[in-house]
Amino acid sequence: MTLLIFLLLAAYYLLKTVREVLILTEGGAEVKSYSSAGQAVLLLFLVPAYGAFASRVRPVKLVTVVTLFFASHLVLFMMAIQAGMRVGIVYFLWVGIFNLMVIAQFWAFAADLYTEEQGKRLFPIIGVGGSLGAWLGSLRAGVLIDNAGPTRLLLGACATLIVCAALVPVIHKLSSGGGNRKAKEAPVTSENGFSMIARDRYLILIAAMTVLGVVSNLAFPSVCTALGESLPKVIRCSGFGVVYSVAIAACGGSTQFVVTWLIHVSGSAMVPAFYLIAATAVAQIAMMLIPESAPRRMERLALAPAAA
């Protein structure tokens, strides 16, 4: 299972780097913000459809079929990019849906595979595999986006997802998770997800935190645009891909270890919140130091009489 999560997150960070490059080079920050809203609307329709399908098939078949279904889309994206088509918006929407329906279902599959006692022992190891996969995927994305362009990243992610789909039935067969095997192979319940959240205080808090995370991400397009505009146009695509992937590799791949260590040392469960506040403060200082690239109207007006 650790290998599976490692490969899955490596593929996801390949796809995520391509997403940022395409949406910002083809549309910009404003288009990305509108695309995020469109993604939320799409999910309102797709989540019930996914739930209906999940309630009719066994979990192993669900994970395998959905993964191969999304892997087939990458072939279409590669063909479209090679044909010179602008796919930034469509691809941005697709990655958001992929994150929910593929990444999330693999974690759910892992949770169903083991008992509570096994989960306490094995999930930290699986989490390390995920962190390493995200780190390696980001580093590889930086190299490939600079040397081969986005198509090569999509090809690598597609091949990795196929391997992940092939591993699912093998892992399920080899697992000695214990408990009721028939319950594990039963289809997912068709109960409405919103009603499940409304009944559980813990799930309500998780949902509220997710909403706050989405709101905080509204500023991210502006940050990406400022980064892109600080680079020369001839290297903007590759340069942004390298900077983005290195940042994800350095911070995204190490945050889990740093936070875990801080919690262990301090004994406080609030450490992740303090870590996030400190990281945000550092990011704000860095943003203030980036030179303004937009033309200033007052300067143009001041220069106009002299030019005349």
Q: Which of 155-164, 243-252, 265-274 has the highest mean pLDDT?
A: 155-164
Cβ burial, residue 224 (10 Å; 0-12/13-18/19+): buried
Please tell me the predicted confidence (pLDDT) of residue 264. Answer: 81
State residue 240's pLDDT score.
67
User: What are the angstrom distances between the C-alpha of 221 and each of 27, 178, 208, 217, 236?
Assistant: 11, 46, 22, 8, 15
Q: What percent of the chain has pLDDT over 70?
A: 69
Whole-number Cα distances in Å, 154 to 2, 83, 94, 145, 281:
23, 15, 13, 10, 34
Tokens (6 digits) for 250: 């350095």
pLDDT of residue 303: 42
> So where are the chain's domains?
2-179+192-253
The mean per-residue pLDDT over the stretch 93-101 comes to 84
Neighbours of 88 (CB within 10 A): 22
Instruction: Assess whether pLDDT exceeds 60 at residue 176.
Output: no
